[in-house]
A and B are shown apart, each in its own frame.
Chain A
Amino acid sequence: MMATLSPATWRSLPGPEDITRVELPNGIVVLTRSNFNSSSVVINGYLPCGSLYDPPDKLGLAGFTARALMRGTARYDFQALHEALESVGASLGFSANVHTITFGGRALAEDLPLLLNLLSTCVREPTFPHDQVERLRAQLLTSLAIRAQDPAEMAELTFDALLFPDHPYGRSEDGYPETVKSIRREDLEAFHRAYFRPQGMVLVVVGAVAAEEVIAQVNAVLGNWLATPADENRIVPPVAPPRQTVRQHVPLPDKVQTELVIGTLGPKRNHPDYLPASLGNNILGQFGMMGRIGEVVREKAGLAYYAMSSLNAWMVAGSWEVNAGVNPANLDRAIELIREEIRRFVSEPVTEEELSDTQAHFIGRLPLSLESNAGVAGALLNMERFQLGLDYLQRYPQQVLAVTREQILEVARRYLDPERLIIVSAGPPAEG
C-alpha cells in the first residue's frame, strides 16, 4: 500500500500560497492564515527569552515573569484586564520554557483587536504590582508542593537533571521552592527590561480574519514598539550522552503507582536525524496503541495502563525516552522488558511493514492535526521557530517516504545505547 493524500486533502494543507509572513520594521514576525469556517480566531507565539537566562539562585524567574505579565499593566489592573478578556469569552496566557516566553489565546474574530491590545499591554508595560506578585508567589509555591508529590512529574524532573547535568535543559523552568522564594519583585522588572523587545518576537494568527486585516491590526498595537539593542545571544552549552547506566528511585511514601522514565539524548529538532528518529520512535513506542513497547508491556504482559516512548526535540538537543506507570511489584520486570525492546531496536532494522505503516500514519494524520485553528497555528509556529520553511507541510509527505529502514537503524544506534541509559522511577519507597 502506498501512502497517498487525496487531492482535496492536498489542497487543504497550509503552504506558501495561503500563509502570509510579514516582518515588521521593529523585527516582529507575523504569520497568518485565514479560516472562515468558524467565527473564532487563535493566536500564539513567543518572545526569544526563557529560563536560559535564570540566575542559578533564582531559577524559575522567566516563568514567574511570564505568569506575572497579566497581573497588572500600565493601562489595566488585574481585574480590568481579566474583565475585558472573560466578558467576551476570550482567553490569553503566558508561560516560559528554556528558550522562549510563549503565549496563546483565542477569541471570537470580532474580538481580535481586543486580544491583540491585551497581548501588547502585557508584553510591553507590565507593572508587577506588589500584592499580585506575592499572591502569584503563593500559587507558584503551592504548585511546586503539589509537584513534589506527583510521581510522574518527579520522575521527569529527576530524569532531566541526570540527563542534562549542569545544563539549562536539566533545570526546572518552574524553579524550586527555595529559588522561587528568593525572587524579588525587582527581579521580575529587571528581567522584563533586559530581555523583552520586539526583535525576534513571533506572532501567529489563524482564524476568521483576512490576512491584510490581521497585519493592520498587529501593526496598530505592536508596530510602534521600538527595537532596542540586544545583548549577545546566550550560548547554550553542548550536551554529552550518559557514560553509563544510572538508576535512581525517588521515594514518595503512601503513593500507589510507580512512574518510570528510561531514556537518553535524542536529536535536536532541525537536525537531519530528527525525521528518521521520529519515524523510528513511532514504531518503538507510539504506533497504534503505543508501538512495540505498548504491545509488550501493556498488551502482552498487562503490566501497565500506559507504556510509550517519545522524542522531545529542542533547539540544541533533545531527549528520547520511554514512560510507563506500573505497580511497584512489576517495576523490575517492566524495566527489563523495555530495555529488551531498546536492545532489539538497535540490533536489527525495523520491518518493511512497520516502516510503511508508520509512513502512512505520518502522512495520513496531517488533515486531522490541521483541522482546527489551534492545529494550524501550532504548525505555523513550528515552521518559524525551527526554520522549516512555509512549504514544510507540502514537502513533508515526500520527506517521510524517503526515510529508509537502514537510516532508522543508524539513527537509533547513534542515540540509543541500551547499556548507557538514565533510569528513574518515582513512587512508593523501593522494598529491601
Chain B
Amino acid sequence: MTNEASVTRAQLSNRLMVLLKEVHTAPLISFWVWYRVGSRDELPGKTGISHWVEHMQFKGTPRFPSGLLDRWISREGGMWNAFTYLDWTTYFETLPADKIDLALDLEADRMVNSRFDPEEVEAERTVILSEREGSENEPLFLLGEAVQMAAFDRHPYRYEVIGLKEDLRRLTRDDLYQHYRRYYTPANALIAVAGDFETTLMLEKIEKAFGGLPAGEAVKREIPPEPPLEQERRITVKGPGSTVFMHLAYRAPAASDPDFFAFTVLDSLLSGPSSLNMFGGGGVSNKTSRLYRALVERELAVSVGGGLHATIDPYLYDLVITIHPESSPEAVLKAIDAEIQRLQEERVREEEIQRALKQARALFAYGSENITNQGFWLGFSEMFATYDWFAHYVENLSAVQAEDVQRIAQTYLQPQRRVVGIYQPTGEETPA
C-alpha cells in the first residue's frame, strides 16, 4: 500500500486495483468502477459492443433486478450513471456517505452476475438505435463521425463509440455476453473512491465486497500503432440545413507522451483553455484566443473551438468551426493555416504560457468543488497513465517552454497530417 499526495493505492489478491482519496467537504462519497475496455477493443463488425454491454449492466442481476437498483439509489438521493469511451467503460454512484455500502454491493454483483436476458437485449437494441438516431439529427455528429473514420485506416479509433448502425442491427446476445465475461473481471478493473470516509474502513469494505471474486485475466490490449498520415485528406458530408461547418482533425500524441502537455499549452493559446472536468466547474471562454481573433473577429466564422483528448494511443486534435454565412471554408482554412504558421515560425511569449497556467489552475479549483468529479479523475487518469499524471498536471504544464510549443506546432500541425471535413448543407434556405 502506498500513499502519494493523500491518495491511497492498494491491490487486492485478485489483482483488483483500488485508489482512495479522502475528501471531507460534504457528507458524500463517489464510488467508481473502471474497466479497461472501450471501443478501442472492438473488432470490425462488432462496433458499439462495449457501449451496449454498458447499457445491459443496468438491466439487473438475480440479486438486484433492474428496477430495484434504480429505486434504491434514487431513494437515497444518489446519482448513478455509466460512460463508455474509446479506451474505457466506467460506472459510478455518488451517495450520502452513510449509504455507500449499496454501491459496493451492486458493483461487486454486476461485475459477474448480470443476466443479459435475450428479451432485454432486443428491447435495448431499439433504445440504442434511437440514441444513435438522435445524434444523427445533429450535423456536427455526422461530420465528426466521417472525420474520425477518415483519420485512421485500421486503428479502432476510427469508429464512434456508439458503433455503426449495421453492427448494432447484427450483434447478438452471445456476442454481448462474451464481451462482458472477457473484460469484466477484477484483473481488468480498477476501483476509485473519493469522499467522506476513512481509508482503512473503506478498504476493508472493498475487500469484503470484491475480494472473493475470481481474478479473471487482464486482457492484452496491444494495438499496432498506425503511421502518421502522409497526405491531407478532405471529405464532405452533405445534409439538411443552411449552416456550413468545418472540422479539422490533426493526429495528436498519446496522453502519456510528454508532448501532450506542451500541446495542451498550444491549444490553450490557439483555441482557448479546455476544461478537464467531467462534472461541474464550467469553462472559460476563448474570445482572446488566436483563432477567435483571426476567425470570429474578422467575420470568417461565427464560432471556433478545439481540444485534445487524453487517450492511450495517439488520437486527434480537433478544431470545429461554424462558418460565417458571408464566408467560406477556403477562407477559414487559409486564416487557420496563417495562425499555425505563426506558431511554427515565432516563439510564443512567456506571459502567454503563464496565462495558460493560471487558466489551468482556475479550472482545477472549479472542478475540486465536486466530489463526483474528484472520483472521476482518480480513475480516469489511471486508464491512460497513472494518477500522478493528474496530480502533477499543473506542474507539468509549468515546465513547458516556448520552444516546446513551437516544436509541437512544427511536428503535429502539418497540413499533411490532418483531415479537413466540411458539412455542406443541401438546404434551399438562403443564409441570413
Contacts and interface: CB of A to CB of B under 8 A. Distances in A.
Interface of A: 1, 3, 6, 8-9, 12, 37-40, 78-79, 82-83, 85-91, 93, 106-108, 135, 138-139, 141-142, 144-146, 148-152, 177, 181, 252-257, 259, 287-289, 295, 298-305, 325-327, 357, 360-368, 370-374, 427
A40 B370 contact: no
A37 B76 contact: no
Contacts of A37: 25-26, 369
B361 A89 contact: yes
Nearest to B289: A86
A40 B366 contact: yes
A142 B325 contact: yes
Contact of B239 (A146, A254, A259, A371): A254
A288 B123 CA distance: 18
B76 A360 contact: yes
Given A88-B358, A367-B27, A106 B322 contact: no
A1 B76 CA distance: 11
Contacts of B272: 86
Given A304-B127, A368-B79, A82 B240 contact: no
Interface string B52-89: 00000010000000110011011111110000000000
Contact of A151 (B98, B137, B326, B362): B137
A1 B99 CA distance: 14
B381 interface: no
A357 B127 CA distance: 26
B369 A373 contact: yes
Nearest to B55: A305
A367 B282 contact: no
Of listed B74, B125, B325, B361, residue having the most chain A CB within 10 A = B74
A303 B96 contact: no
15 contacts: A86-B284, A86-B285, A90-B284, A107-B362, A138-B299, A142-B243, A149-B139, A256-B136, A287-B74, A302-B123, A302-B124, A304-B130, A305-B131, A305-B134, A368-B79
B33 interface: no
B283 interface: yes
Contacts of A366: 77
B1 interface: no
B74 to A, nearest CB: 5
Contacts of A79: 287-288, 293
Given A181-B432, A327-B133, A301 B123 contact: yes
Chain B residues touching A, majority SS: mixed
A364 B28 contact: no
Nearest to B360: A89
Contacts of A252: 240
A252 B240 CA distance: 8
A300 B123 contact: yes
Given A89-B361, A327-B129, A106 B70 contact: no
Given A40-B362, A255-B137, A360-B75, A149 B368 contact: no
A78 B296 CA distance: 12
B403 interface: no
Given A37-B369, A305-B127, A364-B96, A149 B240 contact: yes
A325 B134 contact: yes
Contact of A146 (B74, B241, B283, B297): B241
Contacts of A138: 299, 302, 324-326, 432
Given A150-B137, A370-B26, 5 more contacts: A40-B365, A145-B432, A254-B239, A327-B133, A368-B79
Interface string B26-59: 1110000000000000000000000000000010
A368 B77 contact: yes
A303 B361 contact: no
B208 interface: no
A85 B285 contact: yes
The 8 closest A-B pairs by CB, nearest first: A364-B77, A89-B362, A302-B123, A288-B70, A365-B77, A305-B131, A141-B432, A37-B25
Contacts of B287: 78-79, 82, 86
Given A257-B136, A325-B134, A372-B280, A82 B288 contact: yes
B375 to A, nearest CB: 12
A138 B128 CA distance: 37
B122 interface: yes
B366 A106 contact: yes
B419 interface: no
A145 B431 contact: yes
A226 to B, nearest CB: 31
A278 to B, nearest CB: 15
B126 interface: yes
B314 interface: no
A2 to B, nearest CB: 11
| Most chain A beta carbons < 10 A, residue from B284, B355, B358, B366 | B366
